[in-house]
Amino acid sequence: MNVFHLSKNLPRAWHAMALVVLALVLVACGGGEENWPGVTTTSDNDRLYISYKEQIVSLDAEKERLWTYDGDDKFFAPVVIRDGRLYVGDYEGRIHAIDQESGDRIWLYEPERDSFMGFEFGAVDRVLGSVALNDERLFFGDEHGVSALYIADLEDGATPELDWSFETGHSVWAQPLYLDQESEICPDLDIAPTLFVASLDQKVYALDPEEGTERWSTDMGGGLPGGLTLDCERSRLYVGTLNGEVIALDLDGEIVDRYETESWVWGKPVLFNDSMLYFADLEGWLYEVELVDEGFGEVNKRRLSEESLRASPLIVEDAAGDPVLVIGDKEGEVYALDLNEPNWISDRDVKVRWRKNIDNKALTDLVWLDGEEGQLVIIGGEEEDRLVVALRLEDGGDRAWSYKYGD
C-alpha cells in the first residue's frame, strides 16, 4: 500500500493526532519514574509506615490501616520517627512533619524557588533519602548535597527555616548519620558533634552540624547510594560502593581497610554482635566479614541468588532467641538464614532456613513487626497489587498478608 493512498484521505488533524500519539509513545518508551516504597517500623515493632507515591500510610501488624497522610507529591524515603513525630522528604524537596498518632501534618517546609509573575520555576531538589535529626536540626540529602533545617523552639503552626546547605558533587540518597557524645547509639564515643554524609559523588563527608562546614572528606572510589554503618566498638564507619567495595574508615576519615566484592554494594552493611559484618551485592553474593582491630578479618561469601540483592540484610531474633538473617532479591525470592548454624556449608551453597517468593521484586530494606502470631518480616517492591508483603518468620516464610497500594 502506498503511503499516498493513506495520506490522501487523512485530514491534517489526523496528522497532528498521530504525532501527539507518537509523543506519548516516546514518553512512555522512556521508562517511568517508578520506585519502591519506603518502609519503617516503630522501635516497638508494632506499627508500620509505608511511604509511596503521594501517601504515607500507617498500618498495625495485622494490616489494619490507622491513618493515611496525603502529601501532594511523591514520597520515596522511609520516614524517620522521633518524639512522636514522623519526618520525611518528598520529590518536591519539601520536608513533612507528621503526628505519629493521628497522621496530621504538624508543619511543612517548602524550599524557595525562583518565580516570575507568580509562576514558579527553577530546579527541584528531590529528597530521596531518609532524614536525620538531633535536638535542634533536621538534616536531609537532596540533588545537590545536604541541608539542615532549624527545628528547635518551633511555635505551633510555625514552619522551620533553612539553616544551612552544603553542596556535594552529586546527589545524596543515603540517610546522613549524626553523632555526638550524647548519642544513644554510641554513648561512650568520644567525638565532637558531627554529621557524616555519604554521597553519590563517591565521597564521605564529615560536617559541622551547626555551621554546615566540611571537616574532612574522603574519596571512596565509587558512588555511595547506601548509608553508613557505625561500629561503636572500633569507632569506625563501613560503607558499600558502586565500585564493588566495602570500605572501613575511622571517624577522622582515614581508610582502615577495604574489601573488594563481586559487584556493586548498594545496601548498608549490617553489624551483628559487634563482631561480624553482613552485606550483599548486586550479583547475588552474600558476605559475612569478621571485624578485627586491623580492619576486615576472615570473609565468607557465597552466591545466594542469581539476581541482585539490593537491600541491606535484616538480622532478627526468632521466638527462640536465635538470630536469623533475611534478605530478598530482585526476582522476589526472600531467603532466611540461621546465623547460629554454619551457613557456609560449601563453596557453592548456603544453608537456608526458608525461601519464599513474594511475587514482586524484593527491593526495600527489610523491617520486622511483632505480630499476634509471631514475627513478621516486611518487604516491598514495585508491584502495586502487592506493594508490601508480610512473611511469617516462624512458619517457613508463609505470607501473612500483602498490602495493595490504595487499599
Partner 1 sequence: MGIIIDVLSTILLVLYGVLGQNVFLAIVAFTVIIRLAILPLTLKQQRSMKKMQELAPKLRQLQQKYKDDRERLAQEQMKMYRENGVNPFAGCLPLLIQLPILFGLWRAIIATLASSPEQLLELQDRLLISGLDHLVPMNNTFLWLNLALPDPYFVLPVFVVITTYIQQKMLMPLPEKKDQRKSNEPPDPAEQAQQMTRSMTTIMPLVLGFVALSYSSGLAIYFITSNVIGIIQYSAMGKADIRRLFGQESAKTKEERAKAKSATTTEDAATGDDDEEIPQTERREAGMVAATEAAVAGPSRQLKPGISITTLKPNPPSNERRSSGTSGASASKKPAKKSSSSGSRPRKSKKSKSRSRR
Q: Tell me which residues touch partner 1 (CB under 8 A).
A: 2-4, 7-8, 12, 15-16, 19-20, 22-23, 26-27, 29-31, 33-36, 76, 121-124, 128, 143, 169-170, 173, 200-202, 221-223, 225, 242-244, 263-264, 266, 282, 308, 310, 330, 363, 382
| Angular region, 23: left φ>0, alpha ψ -120 to 50, beta rest | alpha
Farthest-apart Cα atoms in the chain, separation = 83
| Identity of the residue, 371 or 381, whose beta carbon is nearer to partner 1 in the bound complex | 381
* Closest approach of partner 1 to the CB of residue 379, in Å: 16
Residue number, 244 or 269, with CB nearest to partner 1: 244
C-alpha cell at 201: 559523588
DSSP structure class, residue 394: T
Residue nearer to partner 1 on the CB measure, 78 or 103: 78
Element holding 392 (H helix, E strand): strand 388-392
Shortest Å, Cβ 326 to partner 1: 20
**Toward partner 1, which CB reaches closer, 226 or 397?**
226
d(CA 109, CA 94): 5
Kindly state the smallest distance separating residue 126's Cβ from partner 1, in Å.
8
Distance CA 390, CA 386 (A): 10
Q: What is the dihedral of CA 328, 334, 338, 339, to 10 degrees?
A: 0
Closer residue to partner 1 in complex, CB, 31/187: 31
Q: Which three cell numbers stand for residue 323?
A: 538470630
Interatomic CA distance for residues 240 and 40, integer angstroms: 21
For the bound state, the minimum distance from the C-beta of residue 292 to partner 1, rounded and expressed in Å, comes to 27
Shortest reach from residue 275's CB to partner 1, in Å: 29
Smaller CB distance to partner 1: residue 32 or 187? 32
Question: Which residue number, 100 or 308, has a Cβ lying nearer to partner 1?
Answer: 308
Q: How far is the CB of 331 from partner 1 (least distance, A)?
A: 12
CB of 232 to partner 1, least distance (A): 29
One-letter identity of residue 69: Y
Cell digits for 82?
A: 522521633
Whether residue 287 contacts residue 301, with contact meaning beta carbons closer than 8 Å, is answered with yes
For residue 19, what is the DSSP state?
Answer: H
Q: Which residues does residue 299 pair with via DSSP β-bridges, in sequence order?
A: 289
Cell numbers at residue 218, please?
Answer: 574522603
Cβ atoms of residues 228 and 220 within 8 Å: no
